[in-house]
Structure 1
Amino acid sequence: MAGAGGRRAGAVVTGAAHELVFGMGPDPAVAPDWPPLSRAELDPVLREVGLGGAADLEWRSPRPLSAACRVRTADGRVVVVKRLPKALRTPEALGEEHAFADHLRANGIPVPVTFGARHGDAAVRGRDFSYEVQSVGVGDDRYGGDFSWTPYLSVDHARAAGRMLARLHVAAHRFDAPPRPARPLLSRLHTFGPGDPISKVADLIRQRPAVATFLAARDWRTDIARVHLPHHRRLAPLLDDLEPLWTHNDWHGTNLLWRGDGPSSRVTAVIDFGLSDRTTAVFDLATAIERSAVDWLAIRGGGAANVRFDQIRALLSGYGEVRKLTAAERRALPLLFPLVHADYELSEIDYFLSVVPGGNPENAEIAYRDYFLGHTAWIDTPAGHSLRNALA
């Protein structure tokens, strides 16, 4: 899961005692929380899905929140294997994502095939981990070394990404699975959906003990009332007019594969449904803009936002070529944007404190202060107002 993808650029040091991954704090590359996958570990996983064991590990992902690699199997096929701690995703939880991906594939969206375990699970069940095995998608991974919040390489890529996102939303209709339960690393329209956000966070605290302990040390009610609730009050009257829809929720260049250049650029595969859930189409569109159009890392360091207005226009134009926004969606887009990241950041706090071995309170604090609060607060700056006006 790439949104899940790390917040800093960093090189992967292959052949070292351990490989560095993207960092979330001031260091661009850090030691991983999870040991890299090895051939010895992968052999029984690949045999379990009928692929005959591992022959060669060709590439390891630099993304920090799980371990993933591209591996050539003993029978000559190339697949991607992702290892996720069960505290993050059980095979049953991965089955929710796979069901959505299967529906999209059956309705014309190019999504890599997942290899199920022989005993019927959506993923291979280890003692402490779940293992997800997928085919390699068609196309070039042109953002494989980039991090979340990276702009597209060109306005042509932004436009092509918008077209494919609209196709995905059209294909997602009639997939009627219920919303997913609260888990670490999920992007949802829940806390700032219909209802009272303070009560929603109180419910989350009752469900997720690590979040409860973290927020107990902070005046979170006052923070939310000051930073988020003014935006939610403006959005709330529109929420009932937004059609529920299962969505990708982590749409940016690193989760797409590509062919062609310039105006002929096109998306040839969509990957990583780890943050998918039942939200609404305009939530996914706002997320796509949040992931690619603002230099959040520069803002965090006191620099300029470097908003890519050209790419926002191109993405929205490409989207509109395939699917027109409803009147309610057009009104909701600039109002939803300040809140679109919030549920993910709460779930990221949960991940850092309940899933990472030993916990990582420093990263949890970054997620709360700089992202959960900081991104919304930036919208109330002159630069943030300019972006919100561009979405109106």
Structure 2
Amino acid sequence: MSTQTMTAEYTHGMGAALTKADWADITATDLEQVLPHFPRAGRLLSIAWRSPRPFSAAARIVTDKGPLFVKRHNHALRTPQNLDEEHRLVRYLKQQGVPVAALLETETGDTIFSHDGWTYEVHNIALGLDLYQDRTSWTPFFNMGHAHAAGAMLARVHRALKQYDAPPRSSSLLICDDRLIRQADPLRALSADLPHRPGLAGFLRERDWERDLQSHLLSPYHASALPFLQTAPRLWTHGDWHASNLLWSSPEQEGTVTSVLDFGLAGKSSALFDLATAIERNLISWLDMETGKTPIADLDQLDALLAGYCSVTPLSATDIRALASILPLTHTDFALSEVDYFFGLLNDRENAILAYDTYLLGHADWFATTEGQRLIHHLHARSNRV
């Protein structure tokens, strides 16, 4: 396959349709400048596939030493320090036996190469089938077996990270955590953030954001979630546990997770928050909102995901009630970071508005609908059976 014809001009957007890529493709010229700094990489032969993911440029390549995966970030989004925090996490998980792809090192022993305003990382190809590579977040598993396997692997990751001790991420852009919502006064915490987040501040100046957050998120949900958010043990977590960030042994019911991918959104929160994020990412059809439909929660896959998790780490009745309380607020911090990213970094007002109106406020509002309450009641009923 020619390195000049395999392009990712369009990527997954904020909705169901493909959209114009925010970041230019990694070119053969780029790779020929970067790969020599990774002694194990070899000489570029071809670019086999380009990732449709929106927040970075990435490609599967072939060199004379075999296939590799290369990812590139703009320094405005991920500095070498930001990326090193992620790499330390990945290396630790690999030491703990979690199936993650090995990072290649440069001639100086680093796993990051910075060039011309870009940060590059090179990985060995992870083991398994990339069955969901064309699926976006907020789309379900293919079957119940995959939901169960994803839950079991997530519990393995959380168990492996219990002793991992590292400071929180140094960036607030596109990081999935609960830093604001676990505060007793999230509005005050966000107000204190804004001088350091000019993109988000610029957008929020156009909105009555304090009233919006209070009425849509905090008044309905925060008081019940706060005790769980504040008492749950702090833990580094994956942050984007969707089927497309996992590789698989088979597309069938008996398929297992063979590799865990993409820790780009990883941050410090809690196992319960990360599990709530997995439910939010996979099991609610948020994309239906584009066509005016009410999103549906897949309760059968929810039960399978939780059963898989419990097969490794049992959840108490209190844990499951905590999930029910945390879920309506799960997307809060990340949606605000999306607003910051789109408005401040990309000058993309349309997607910033979508992140604010639909993802920040609309997702929270859904939990007050009949379908949202069906999900919450299902979790409470499950807690009563534990």
* Shorter-chain TM-score above 0.5: yes
Name the CA shift for 1:18/1:384 in 2 (closer, same or farther; >3 Å).
Answer: closer
**In structure 1, what is the equivalent of residue 351 of structure 2?**
363
**In structure 2, what is the equivalent of residue 168 of structure 1?**
157
Q: Distance in 2 between matches of 1:63 and 1:203?
A: 32
Question: Is the 2:229–2:326 Cα contact (8 Å) retained in structure 1?
Answer: no
**In structure 2, what is the equivalent of residue 113 of structure 1?**
102
Q: Match of 2:258, SS?
A: strand
Q: Map 1:285-324; keep pairs closer than 5 Å.
A: 285-324=275-314
Q: Distance in 1 between matches of 2:239 and 2:338?
A: 14
Q: Map 1:214-253; keep pairs closer than 5 Å.
A: 214-229=203-218, 230-253=220-243
Q: Distance in 2 between matches of 1:259 and 1:362?
A: 39
Q: Distance in 2 between matches of 1:181 and 1:234?
A: 29
Residue in structure 2 matching 1:91, options 80, 85, 100: 80
After TM superposition, the score normalised by the length of structure 2 is 0.93
**In structure 2, what is the equivalent of residue 271 of structure 1?**
261
* Amino acid in the other structure paired with 1:348: E
| Structure 1 range deviating more: 274-283 or 261-270 | 261-270
* Amino acid in the other structure paired with 1:257: L
Name the CA shift for 1:62/1:196 in 2 (closer, same or farther; >3 Å).
Answer: same
Deviations 1:195-242 (A, max 9, x none): 211012112212111111110110000001101112111111233321
Q: Distance in 1 between matches of 2:133 and 2:7?
A: 22
**In structure 2, what is the equivalent of residue 177 of structure 1?**
166
| Structure 1 range deviating more: 109-118 or 247-256 | 109-118
**In structure 1, what is the equivalent of residue 48 of structure 2?**
58
Name the CA shift for 1:17/1:293 in 2 (closer, same or farther; >3 Å).
Answer: closer
Residue in structure 2 matching 1:135, options 97, 102, 124: 124
**In structure 1, what is the equivalent of residue 24 of structure 2?**
35
1:45 is aligned to 2:1: no
Q: Distance in 2 between matches of 1:21 and 1:195?
A: 38
How far apart are residue 68 of structure 1 and its match?
0.6
Q: Distance in 1 between matches of 2:28 and 2:243?
A: 29
* Amino acid in the other structure paired with 1:377: D
Q: Distance in 2 between matches of 1:244 and 1:282?
A: 10
Name the CA shift for 1:261/1:23 in 2 (closer, same or farther; >3 Å).
Answer: closer
Deviations 1:96-120 (A, max 9, x none): 1111111111111000011133234
Deviations 1:148-170 (A, max 9, x none): 11100001000000000011111
How far apart are residue 47 of structure 1 and its match?
1.1
* Amino acid in the other structure paired with 1:283: F
Name the CA shift for 1:347/1:334 in 2 (closer, same or farther; >3 Å).
Answer: same
Give the length in aligned residue pairs: 375
**In structure 1, what is the equivalent of residue 370 of structure 2?**
382
Q: Match of 2:231, SS?
A: coil
1:70 is aligned to 2:60: yes
* Amino acid in the other structure paired with 2:20: A
Q: Map 1:345-356; keep pairs closer than 5 Å.
A: 345-356=335-346
Name the CA shift for 1:35/1:261 in 2 (closer, same or farther; >3 Å).
Answer: closer
Question: Is the 1:149–1:292 Cα contact (8 Å) retained in structure 2?
Answer: yes
How far apart are residue 93 of structure 1 and its match?
0.8
Q: Distance in 2 between matches of 1:32 and 1:375?
A: 25
How far apart are residue 388 of structure 1 and its match?
1.2
**In structure 2, what is the equivalent of residue 7 of structure 1?**
none
Question: Is the 1:241–1:328 Cα contact (8 Å) retained in structure 2?
Answer: no
**In structure 2, what is the equivalent of residue 330 of structure 1?**
320
Q: Distance in 2 between matches of 1:148 and 1:208?
A: 26
**In structure 1, what is the equivalent of residue 141 of structure 2?**
152
After TM superposition, the score normalised by the length of structure 1 is 0.92
How far apart are residue 33 of structure 1 and its match?
1.7
Q: Distance in 2 between matches of 1:263 and 1:31?
A: 35
Deviations 1:302-337 (A, max 9, x none): 113232111000000000000012454222100100
* Amino acid in the other structure paired with 2:234: P
**In structure 2, what is the equivalent of residue 191 of structure 1?**
180
Q: Match of 1:260, SS?
A: coil
* Amino acid in the other structure paired with 1:364: A
Q: Distance in 2 between matches of 1:113 and 1:225?
A: 44
* Amino acid in the other structure paired with 1:147: T
**In structure 1, what is the equivalent of residue 383 of structure 2?**
none
How far apart are residue 261 of structure 1 and its match?
4.8
* Amino acid in the other structure paired with 1:351: Y
Q: Which runs of 5+ in 1 are unaligned?
A: 1-13
Q: Which runs of 5+ in 2 are unaligned?
A: 381-386
Q: Match of 2:107, SS?
A: coil
Deviations 1:326-366 (A, max 9, x none): 4542221001001111111111111112332xx10110010
Question: Is the 1:182–1:204 Cα contact (8 Å) retained in structure 2?
Answer: no
Q: Distance in 1 between matches of 2:120 and 2:7?
A: 23
How far apart are residue 173 of structure 1 and its match?
1.2
How far apart are residue 183 of structure 1 and its match?
2.3
**In structure 2, what is the equivalent of residue 3 of structure 1?**
none
How far apart are residue 40 of structure 1 and its match?
1.0
Tell me the C-alpha RMSD between the 2 structures.
1.6
Residue in structure 2 matching 1:205, options 194, 198, 205: 194
* Amino acid in the other structure paired with 2:372: G
